[in-house]
Amino acid sequence: MRVLRAKTRTLYDLLPQPVLERVLATGTSRSFKDGQIIQQRGDDREGISVLTDGQIVAGNAGLDGSFLVSALLRPGETFGEFTVMAGLPHTHTLWSQGETTITFIKGSLARRLMDEEPAFAHALLTIALLRNHELLEFLDAQRRLTLPIRIAQLLLTSVDSKARADTVECRQEDLAVTLGVSRVATGKALKRLERDGMVELGYGRIDLPDVQGLIAKVEADDPLFMLPQI
Amino acid sequence: MRVLRAKTRTLYDLLPQPVLERVLATGTSRSFKDGQIIQQRGDDREGISVLTDGQIVAGNAGLDGSFLVSALLRPGETFGEFTVMAGLPHTHTLWSQGETTITFIKGSLARRLMDEEPAFAHALLTIALLRNHELLEFLDAQRRLTLPIRIAQLLLTSVDSKARADTVECRQEDLAVTLGVSRVATGKALKRLERDGMVELGYGRIDLPDVQGLIAKVEADDPLFMLPQI
DNA sequence: GCTAGAATGCTAACAAGTTACATTTGATTG
DNA sequence: CAATCAAATGTAACTTGTTAGCATTCTAGC
C-alpha cells in the first residue's frame, strides 16, 4: 500500500544526533514480520515506541469486524506516548507492513529520559502538537469540504507545488483508505475532477495536468490550504 | 449552550500551584464580551493562551458560510500551543461565550518559561497527548460506531455511572453540535434509542431510565468504552 | 501475443445525513 | 388564566456515501 500523507517532522528531524542516539540506546529493539500484530486496542503496556524501519498500519475493527485504517506510520514516527504521560490505553491496533523494527522505551525509562534530556521532552511536545494540528485539520476538512476537494488536497501533498504538471502513482484504493471513504465514492469524486480537467485517471496513477489550477481550485474553497513546507 | 464533554485535565490540575502562578503571571490578561472574536483561522500570532474565565467556542465557516463548531473550551484549558512549538497558524476561529478572560503568553516568553520550568513543558505535553487521544477516539467512533451509540456515550459522560436512572439537561442541538452532526440526525437517533427503552425524550431534557442498560448497550458495540475516571 | 491478477468502472438497492419547513412546548404577559 | 411567541422538537424530500456484485480495462510476465 502506498502511503499518501504529507511528510511530518519526526524524532529524527527534531533531536540533535547525540540525544537521538541516547534515546534509541535506552530502548530495546524488536522486529516484526509482515502482517504481525504489534499492539492491540486497549493494551495498557506503558512505553514509547519509535518506528525505526518499515511501515505500520494503525486502525481498528468496525462493528462488522472489517478493519478500518486510521493512519500509516513511517520511520522516525513515534507511538504510545500517552501510555506514559497520561496513563491511557492504546487507541489502535497496529500491524506491521513488511519487515519492521521498533525501539521500545518502557515507561519508567522514558520518564527519566525526559527529565534528563529536555530536548527529548521538547521534541515529543512538538510532535504531539503537530499531530494534533493534523487531526484537527482532517476533522475540519471532513466537515467543511466536499470529497473532490479533499482528494485534491491529498493529491497535492505528493506533488511538486511549483510544477506545471505532475503525476501521482497511487491506486484509488489508497486515496480511499487515507480519507476513510469507500473506493466507489473516491472513483466518483475523481471522475468529477476529471470532467473539470483537473486530473487524468490512469491505471495505478493519476496525472495532474494543471497543478496550479488545482491549487487555485482548492484555495477557492479552503483559503488557508497550504502545502506542507518542512 | 450547554457543554457536553467529558471533563479533561488542564493546567490547573497538572501544575503545582507556584508554577501555575508563575505561568499566569508571565502572560497578560485580556477580556472579551459575549460573542467577540478572539482569533481567526489562519492567524499566526505566536503564543500560548490559557482560558481563565468563561467559555470559548471553536469552529470554522463551512463552504456556505455557516459556522461549524469543533470544540468548546472551559477554564484551565489552553490553546495556540502549536503556534509556539511548531510555527503553525491557528486552525480555528474562536469566539467567546459570555464574558471570558484569557491569559496570553507570547511566543518568546512561553519558550523561556518551558526551559526554566520543566513542569510547564511536562504539563503541556500531557495536555497535548490527552487531546490527541480524545481526537483519535472521536475520529474512531465516528467511523466505527453508529450515531445512537455515539450519542449514548456522550450522554453517559454527564451522568453518575453508578446510578440506576438519571436525567441530562440539554437540548438535542447541544448533542448535535458536540458530535458534529445535524440536529435532525440527532433527533432520529434519539428516537431509536427511545424505541429501545434507553431514553425518554423531553423538552430540553433527556431521561435515562436505565443507565446500566445503556452502559451495557454501549459496551456491546465498543468493548473498550470507559467512563472518564479522573 | 496470451493470460491472470490487479485495478478501475458501473449499477442498483439501501443507509444515513442534510436542508427546509411544520408542529409542539412552556415561559411570559396583559 | 388564556394568548402569545420564541425555543425546541418533529417531518419530508433530497443528497451523498455505502455495500455488493459484476463487467471492463490494464499490464507484468510467461
For residue B54, give the C-alpha cell. Answer: 468563561
Residue B145: list chain A partners with CB under 8 A.
Answer: 63
- B96-116: buried (b, 16+ CB within 10 Å) or exposed (e) per residue? bbeebebbbbbbebbbebbee
- β-pairing, A93-106 with A28-32? antiparallel
Write down the mean pLDDT value for chain A: 91
Tell me the C-alpha distance between B76 and B55, whole Å: 10
CA distances from B168 to B70, B95, B161 (A): 22, 26, 13
Residue range A166-183: mean pLDDT, rounded: 94
Residue A227: list chain B partners with CB under 8 A.
Answer: none
pLDDT at A171: 94
Instruction: Answer for B2: CB within 7 Å of strand D.
Output: no
| Residue A77: partners with Cβ closer than 8 Å, 6 or more residues away | A8, A10, A11, A50, A51
Closest nt by CA–C1' to B66: C19
Residue range A155-179: mean pLDDT, rounded: 92
For residue A104, give the C-alpha cell. Answer: 521500545
List A34's β-bridge partners, or say none: none
| Residue B182: partners with Cβ closer than 8 Å, 6 or more residues away | B176
Residue of least CA–C1' distance to C9: A187
Q: How sure is the predictor about B70, in pLDDT bands with cuts at 50, 70 and 90?
A: confident
Under a CB-based contact definition with an 8 Å cutoff, are residues A128 and A95 in contact? no
pLDDT at A2: 66
Residue A220, chain B, CB below 8 Å: the answer is no
In B151-205 the beta strands, taken as DSSP E runs, fall at: 166-168, 200-201
pLDDT at A228 over 60: no
More confident residue, A192 or A228: A192
pLDDT at A230: 44
pLDDT at A8: 87
pLDDT at B224: 82
pLDDT in tens, A24-71: 999 999 999 888 899 999 898 999 999 999 989 898 887 777 778 888
pLDDT at A219 over 50: yes
pLDDT at A97: 86
Under a CB-based contact definition with an 8 Å cutoff, are residues A6 and A228 in contact? yes
Cross-chain residue pair B140–A60, CB shorter than 8 Å: yes
Give percent of chain B with pLDDT exceeding 70.
97
Tell me the C-alpha distance between A136 and A142, whole Å: 10
pLDDT at B203 over 90: yes
| Sheet architecture: strand order including B166-168 | B166-168, B206-208, B200-201
In chain A, which residues from 41 to 70 place their CB closer than 7 Å to nucleic acid strand D? 66
Tell me the C-alpha distance between A140 and B90, whole Å: 13
Q: How sure is the predictor about B156, in pLDDT bands with cuts at 50, 70 and 90?
A: very high
Residue range B146-169: mean pLDDT, rounded: 93
Instruction: Answer for A171: CB within 7 Å of strand C.
Output: yes
Q: How sure is the predictor about B230, in pLDDT bands with cuts at 50, 70 and 90?
A: very low
pTM for the predicted model, two decimal places? 0.92
For residue A117, give the C-alpha cell. Answer: 534530556
Under a CB-based contact definition with an 8 Å cutoff, are residues B83 and B111 in contact? no
Q: In the Cβ-directed half-sphere of B30, how many Cα atoms lie within 13 Å? A: 16
Tell me the C-alpha distance between B73 and A80, whole Å: 26
Residue of chain A minimizing CA distance to B111: A122
